[in-house]
Chain A
């Protein structure tokens, strides 16, 4: 009896919450939405490569210290060969951790009736849900059907299907009710004002499927807030940077992110962002050549990270003077060459009609140029002083 009462209460609460959800959906309808299916463009190999490269792979960020239940450490002896293998595995792990949640269209709920049995009308005063709970099925493949009170047997709506999946095969971290963070506008706003973007997006990814409307609404809200606060670095080297860049490129508001990239001395990423936006909007500008030129000069983030890890194996005496100069300045000769090409491309973009914040971008590019020139002079001077052959 008591359990029944509890259940009824729960149902009532659910209905209430549904009302809240709907009102929120109306509120956030004004926010930016994908007008057509973004999935083909997003999963495109080139786009993925661009987004991954823009995300970067900063090891300290990917493997930063988190609050976990088990914070034990394990000390081991390893040979150099074992360590090299370990580093490769670490990079693989990092890649997995940086896998982007897909950007797909909102899935519409369609009514799929299996059979109508009027003879069964009023068999009970509540619906019956039947779930296939056989082991090993994918959540999307799991069959959930509902027998309505009027005798209709139909496939369950998406929401019910998700709920049943969560009931029988709970996903770690996903709640069967909407977390208050997502149902309460004020709480979400508080999170946003505290710049807890990664936390919101992580929880969003766990709680909702990428095809759900809530996922789109809340992530759009986060990205717009982020575009205003300009704290893009908080998402760099996380799995949400790619979708964020894709969102800005899709909605033609890349200038703030672009400015941030130039200011932080990532001109290569800036070029990639511009190229992505050209690609999405089919702008007739030839960007492929510049990209391939840059790709030849610059290693991918994973390669760069692996190189960094392997350099830790070297003893200080083994490192040559050339490398020391490079680490002191932070750039190699190839980097300087790549920067030159990318800056040229960025200037072209600023000159075109696509750029909105031209003055700001122009200034940033100028500053970067000057700094680069200074660094190059210092680099050459140091090399000469140490008698390293200029290649």
Chain B
């Protein structure tokens, strides 16, 4: 051991002396032996960061052509992380490096300790965790319509304006897309367009689109703008719309139906999101024609705004508006009566309420095409075999409930 150390020492010494003498030695050497070396390359001219970028990134021109979409996901690993000077594979005490020279009255000595196997593993696991690009974890509740995409996700309440704050409001993104415009000097310039809807779940809602070069800015702008465009919508029993209605915008036609308690929202996801924000819980909507999202939103809001109260309808038609509830065993309740009675005979005219509210429009009910196998022999056989078990699940359930077996 002592010999080995000595050798080390001599080598180190020799090296140092050569460095000192380097100049004189080179000066002394003959010109024929002198080789001209230009040690200049991007390796020692550029910082490490730039070199890495040169390898991993895509040029500006390339980016414009849509190359290297996955770049930026791979980050160079910092191998220094998790390591400290003086601590290594061999667990050794070096006084003055990783331990004090004098501990109490004693001088500490170089000392080998037990090898720490965990260290190596922990460093490796740390590097592994560094290397992979991690998708942001989203709580299932916060998810939008699809994956980590913005549409359907909540982006909080609009910022307060003066003393008006929007604490009870919730904003949801309906559309987030890239749009381009041509500029004189910039050429094709791209921006993000965000359509969002905000509401207090109690009949107050607004929607707005906003564009910005950054997604975040567009979201914020759209959120705040929708807070400035609130519309009051009166709800029936605080859970559904006043009456069925037909509404259209452009080529989008929507038939919206009032539904009883507990029905839920059976409609396009955009309408669903709007309803949730407004506070509508039971509704059925059928879209005919174009499903352009902006048109759906506009058509739906127009329809909501055009709703009439029962009193207005009664006065317009000069008939009583009556509601019959199946849950109350078909009990007839008067919802509204006209201010002045128009004496009309029953045979004179007969107006259907739904026909009136839908504006004489009828929903297109397409006939369902039966599957190809319906008339096949095999399916017929299957139906014959399955027939005797048609009530089995019910019977099983009853047996379980009443446990009389």
Q: Please give the residue numbers on chain A whose beta carbons come within 8 Å of chain B beta carbons, in ascending order.
A: 9-10, 13, 17, 59, 62-68, 70-83, 86-87, 90, 93, 97, 175, 177, 179-180, 312-313, 315
Other-chain contact of B323, A66, A67, A74, A79 (Cβ < 8 Å): A74
CB distance from A67 to the nearest CB of B (A): 8
Chain B residues with CB below 8 A from A87, complex form: 332
> Across the two chains, which residue of chain A brings its CB closest to B310?
A75
Most buried by B among A68, A72, A81, A180: A72
Q: What mask results when residues 257 to 275 of chain B are scored 1 for a CB within 8 Å of chain A, else 0?
A: 0111110000000000000
In the complex, the 3 A-B pairs of residues with the closest C-beta atoms, listed nearest first: A63-B331, A71-B327, A77-B319
Question: B288 in the interface, Cβ–Cβ < 8 Å?
Answer: no
For A72, the chain B residues whose CB sits under 8 A away are: 259-260, 326
Within 8 A of A (CB), among B302-321: 317, 319-321
Q: Is the CB of B326 within 8 A of A68?
A: yes
Contact between B323 and A80 (Cβ–Cβ < 8 Å)?
Answer: no
User: Can you list 29 A-B contacts with CB-CB less than 8 angstroms, sorted by A residue number?
Assistant: A13-B404, A13-B405, A62-B329, A65-B325, A65-B327, A68-B327, A71-B260, A71-B325, A71-B326, A72-B259, A73-B324, A74-B324, A75-B321, A75-B322, A76-B321, A76-B323, A77-B317, A77-B319, A81-B346, A82-B346, A83-B320, A83-B332, A83-B334, A86-B332, A90-B331, A90-B332, A177-B404, A180-B404, A315-B337
Contact in complex: B332, A9 (CB < 8 Å):
no
The CB with the most chain B CB atoms within 10 A, among A62, A70, A76, is that of A76
Contacts of A90 in B (CB 8 A): 331-332
Q: Residue of A at shortest CB range from B332?
A: A86
Are the C-beta atoms of B262 and A93 separated by less than 8 Å? no
Distance between Cα atoms of A175 and B337 in the complex (Å): 46
Any chain A CB within 8 A of the CB of B46? Answer: no
CA distance A312 to B323 in the complex (A): 14
Which A residues are in CB contact (< 8 Å) with B328? 63-66
Q: Are B402 and A177 in contact (CB under 8 A)?
A: yes
Interface set of B (CB-CB < 8 Å, partner A)? 243, 258-262, 317, 319-332, 334-335, 337, 339, 341, 344, 346, 351-354, 356, 402-405
Q: Are A179 and B323 in contact, with the CB atoms below 8 A?
A: no
Nearest CB in chain A: distance from B256 CB, A: 14
Considering only CB atoms, which chain B residue lies closest to A87 in the complex?
Answer: B332
CA distance A313 to B341 in the complex (A): 11
Instruction: Provide the bound-state CA to CA distance between A79 and B341, in Å.
Output: 9
10 more A-B residue pairs beyond the given contacts A73-B258, A73-B325, with a C-beta to C-beta distance below 8 A: A72-B260, A75-B243, A75-B335, A75-B353, A78-B319, A78-B322, A83-B322, A86-B322, A90-B332, A180-B403
Are B262 and A97 in touch, CB under 8 angstroms?
no
Which B-chain residue is minimally distant from A312 (CB atoms)?
B334
Contacts of B346 in A (CB 8 A): 79, 81-82
Bound together, the chains give a CA A9 to CA B403 distance in angstroms of 13
In the complex, chain B residues whose CB is within 8 Å of the CB of A9: 405
In the assembled complex, the Cα of A374 lies from the Cα of B320 at a distance in Å of 40
Min C-beta distance of A341 to chain B, whole Å:
34
Within the assembled complex, what's the spacing in Å between the Cα atoms of A180 and B399?
A: 12
Which one, A66, A71, A77, A180, contacts B262 given CB within 8 A?
A71
- Residues A73 and B323 in contact, CB atoms below 8 Å apart: yes
Cβ contact within 8 Å between B329 and A76: no
How many Å from the CB of A382 to the closest CB on chain B? 28
Are A76 and B260 in contact, CB atoms less than 8 angstroms apart?
A: no
CA distance A80 to B261 in the complex (A): 29
B350 and chain A: residue at smallest CB distance: A77
Query: Which residues of the partner chain B approach A70 to less than 8 Å between Cβ atoms?
Result: 326
Residue in chain A with minimal CB distance to B262: A71
Q: How far is the CA of A64 from the CA of B328 in the complex (A)?
A: 5
How far does the Cβ of B330 sit from chain A's closest Cβ, in whole Å?
7
Are B329's CB and A97's CB within 8 A? yes
Contact of A76 among B259, B261, B322 (CB under 8 A): B322
Min CB–CB distance B320 → chain A (angstroms): 5
Q: How far is the CA of A75 from the CA of B321 in the complex (A)?
A: 7
Instruction: Say whether A313 contacts B404, CB under 8 Å.
Output: no
**Which residues does chain A contribute within 8 Å of B259, judged by CB atoms?**
72
Question: Given A75-B335, A79-B344, are A93 and B330 also a contact pair (CB < 8 Å)?
Answer: yes
Q: Which residues of chain B are within 8 angstroms of A66 by Cβ–Cβ distance? A: 327-329
A62 shortest CB reach to chain B, Å: 8
From B260, B324, B344, B402, contact of A180 by CB (8 A): B402
* Separation of A67 and B329 alpha carbons in the complex (Å): 10
Are the C-beta atoms of B319 and A71 separated by less than 8 Å?
no
Q: Given A65, A79, A97, which contacts B320 in the complex, CB threshold below 8 Å?
A: A79
Complex CA gap A126/B90 in Å reads 90
- Minimum C-beta distance from A86 to chain B (A): 5
Q: How far is the CB of A179 from chain B (nearest CB, A)?
A: 7
Cβ contacts under 8 Å, A67 to chain B = 327
Contacts of B327 in A (CB 8 A): 65-68, 71
Min Cβ gap A54→B in Å is: 22
Q: How far, in whole Å, are A83 and B331 apart by their CA atoms in the complex?
A: 12
Residues of A within 8 A of B339 (CB): 315
Give every chain B residue within 8 A of A83 (Cβ-Cβ): 320, 322, 332, 334
Question: Hey, which chain B residues are within 8 Å of A63, CB to CB?
Answer: 328-329, 331
| Bound complex: CA A175 to CA B394 (Å) | 13
Residue of A nearest to B355 (CB): A77
The reply to whether B320 and A77 contact each other, CB–CB distance below 8 Å, is: yes
Q: Give the docked Cα–Cα distance between A175 and B323 (Å).
A: 35
How far apart are B103's CB and chain A's nearest CB, in angstroms? 77
CB distance from A81 to the nearest CB of B (A): 6
Counting chain B CB atoms within 10 Å of each CB, the highest count among A64, A77, A82 belongs to A77
Write out the residue numbers on chain B whose beta carbons fall within 8 Å of the beta carbon of A65: 325, 327-328
B403 — nearest CB in chain A belongs to which residue?
A: A180
Given the interface pairs A79-B320, A81-B346, A82-B346, the reply to whether A93 lies near B329 with Cβ below 8 Å is: yes
Q: Give B317's nearest chain A residue, CB to CB.
A: A77
Contact residues in B for A82 (Cβ distance below 8 Å):
346
Asked if B351 and A77 make an inter-chain contact with CB atoms under 8 angstroms apart, the answer reads: yes
A77 touches B324 (CB 8 A): no
A271 to B321: give the CA distance in the assembly, Å: 42
Distance of A180 Cα from B259 Cα, bound (Å): 36
Q: Which of A63, A175, A179, A315 has most chain B Cβ within 10 Å?
A: A63
Residue numbers in A under 8 Å from B330 (CB-CB) = 93
Q: Give bound CA distance, A87 to B333, whole Å.
A: 10
Bound CA–CA A83/B89 (angstroms) = 95
Provide the bound-state CA to CA distance between A59 and B330, in Å: 12
Say how far B107's CB is from chain A's closest CB, in angstroms: 84
Q: In the assembled complex, which residues on chain A have CB atoms less than 8 Å from the CB atom of B354?
A: 75
**C-alpha spacing A74/B260, complex, angstroms:** 10
CB contacts (< 8 Å) of B322 on chain A: these are 75-78, 83, 86
By a CB distance below 8 angstroms, the chain A residues around B352 are 77
Kindly report which residue of chain A lies nearest to residue B334, judged by CB atoms. Answer: A312
Which residue on chain B has the smallest CB distance to residue A179?
B402
A335 to B93 Cα, complex, angstroms: 107
A77 touching B356, Cβ below 8 Å: yes
* CB neighbours of B326 from chain A (8 A): 68, 70-74
